[in-house]
Structure 1
Amino acid sequence: MAGSLFIVSRTKPGTYAYMKLVSESEDVVLFDRRQGDRRRIHQPTTGERRQGERRHRDVIMDLQKSGWALVRR
């Protein structure tokens, strides 16, 4: 599964449409689905269950500056 992953800010639907139009067939273009912290009520946790960080790089700055981010897969 080669190609790139383009993550587009939900505030940029025009950018999303353009990326879908010009991207290669093996590329994936999607809207950023994050909406904030999932844990809204402070509750004690039982410990970290994840073995490591799943995200390879933080794309928040790219999304805020340009409205989209590129991630290699």
Structure 2
Amino acid sequence: MPQLDTSTWLITILSMIVTLFLMFQLKVSKYNFPENPEQKSVSMPKTNTPWEKKWTKIYFPLSLPQQQ
């Protein structure tokens, strides 16, 4: 049974990594990135909900008088 020749694997793998790196650099260099990104202020509009208009009290079952 013949042995697998692995002597060229190092050059093949290294050249593939270099090629992928260069292709990635070319892809990324086509994009225009902002030079000074500024943070936008996000303000949520206040919504009025029905339960905010009136005063409510929450009664816990243990704080209610005992029913007999």
Quickly name the TM-score band, shorter chain normalised.
Answer: under 0.3
Higher CA-based Rg: 2
**Taking structure 1 as the reference length, what is the TM-score of the superposition?**
0.18
Using CA pairs under 8 Å that are at least 6 residues apart, name the structure with larger relative contact order, 1 or 2.
Answer: 1
Report which of the two has the higher share of helix: 2
Output the TM-score relative to the length of structure 2. Answer: 0.19
